[in-house]
Amino acid sequence: MNIIFKEVTKENWEKCIELKVSKEQEEFVAPNSYSLLQANFGEGLYPISIYDGETMVGFLMYEKDEEDNTMGMCRLMIDEKYQKKGYGRAAVLKLLDLIREKYGNIEFFTSFEPENIVADKLYESVGFKKTGEIMWEELVAKIEL
């Protein structure tokens, strides 16, 4: 596995929006087309395509909230063809390294729906701890970088 992050560009955006999660996960993850629109019209959102070598396997987006100076991962999806192969975990670990390198030792957040057991286990496995806070009907978790 050779995880590479690439910017979403005019050359790869169509491939990015073709990525899909499994039917069981559709209620947990916004479509990539929505995330790209959100990033285009919102502030402080950074969409990234996830590749294994030359193959796009997923998408993530992180955000920096200038108002309260917090950072977090607001999207993570691995295409259904590449799930259960370790790509999600590898991508989150690579993102945490990138954030630590770029911003130093900070608190980094994510959130997930309480029913999303897969996300809960994944985030816990890389060091996120639930804060007890609920935001947008999702459980909030953070990690100290």
Q: Any idea what the CATH number is for the domain that residue 82 is in? A: 3.40.630.30
Tell me: pLDDT of 7 over 90.
yes
Kindly report the average pLDDT of the chain as a whole number: 96
> What pLDDT was estimated at residue 134?
95
The reported pTM is 0.94
52: containing domain: 3-144
The number of beta carbons lying within 10 Å of the beta carbon of residue 142 is 20
**DSSP of 77-111, one letter per residue?**
EE-GGGTTTTHHHHHHHHHHHHHHHHH-S-EEEEE
Tell me: pLDDT of 69 over 90.
no
Place 68 in a pLDDT band, splitting at 50, 70 and 90: confident
The tally of domains found in the chain comes to 1
> What pLDDT was estimated at residue 67?
86
> What pLDDT was estimated at residue 12?
97
CA within 13 Å, CB half, 58? 28
State pLDDT tens for residues 84-128. Answer: 999 999 999 999 999 999 999 999 999 999 999 999 999 999 999
Q: What is the mean pLDDT of residues 41-70?
A: 95
> What pLDDT was estimated at residue 72?
97
> What pLDDT was estimated at residue 20?
97
The pair of three-digit structure tokens given for residue 78, joined into one six-digit string:
């691995």
The pair of three-digit structure tokens given for residue 82, joined into one six-digit string:
């590449």
